[in-house]
Amino acid sequence: MSSDADALAAAKRAAGYLAADMIEDGMIVGLGTGSTVYYMIERLSLRIREGLDISGIPTSFQTAIRAREYGIPLTSLDDHPTIDIAVDGADQIDPQLRLIKGRGAALTREKIIAAAAFTLVIVADDQKMVPGLNGTVPVEVLPFAIQPVMAQLRGFGCRPVIREAVKKDGPVISDNGNFIVDCIFGDIEQPEELESAIAGIPGLIESGLFCTYADKTTVIIGDQKRCKVITSADIVP
């Protein structure tokens, strides 16, 4: 592993560990998907062995597998429709704490968990902080509706591409049995409006734009020496 890769892993670990230390006894915890969150799970496992009593709700099969391996008790939204805290990653974070998520294809469950949580903690390295959202926006689409959805997405000025799997032929299939379409918009000047507009396309389940949770979001930017913590109070109007 190169020194740059080592530094990035250390930054992710620092952010994940700090998020795990924010979790209190008795909490219901939303468990996001991604490499930085998995460091949080690693640290959370140690705290559970030391006596912390929590239950987690995973946002993906992969996270559920990881959580079980680390001995984290799991529950569901059926039993706990409201969540104390959710910890997740992000692909991009802008100065208003608006997010692009979904590189791991778990965006729909991640958004459901984010909406159910009183507090949303985003763990990331400093490469994820951007002056404005401009990354690829994943959307989850019913296979039945894929062609009309893609046609309407083109009408919003993007180039939609069905995400292809790496170790299987054909498209990536989400945990919900749907396709993931990656949408290239370029600079997104009005992300709230775009999120609302594409949500109205029939057959489109959810998008990776997360623009409505800034008031309950805390962002932890990992660093080997000291993490930076950003909250809604730090947003400049």
Would you please indicate which residues are annotated as catalytic (active-site) residues? 110
| Angstrom distance (rounded) from CA 99 to CA 121 | 12
Which residues partner with 57 through β-bridges?
Answer: 30
Counting Cα atoms < 13 Å in the Cβ hemisphere of 8 gives 8
Identify which of 93, 82, 79, 95 has the alpha carbon closest to the alpha carbon of residue 121.
93
CB atoms near residue 161 (< 10 Å): 13
User: Which tokens sit at 136?
Assistant: 């690829």
Question: Locate tokens 């469950």: which residue?
Answer: 109
* Residue carrying the six token digits 């926006």: 137
Burial of 60 (0-12, 13-18, 19+ CB in 10 A): buried
In whole angstroms, give the CA distance from residue 152 to residue 62: 31
CA gap 120, 51 in Å, rounded: 24
How far, CA to CA in Å, does 82 sit from each of 44, 99, 131, 218? 20, 22, 32, 18
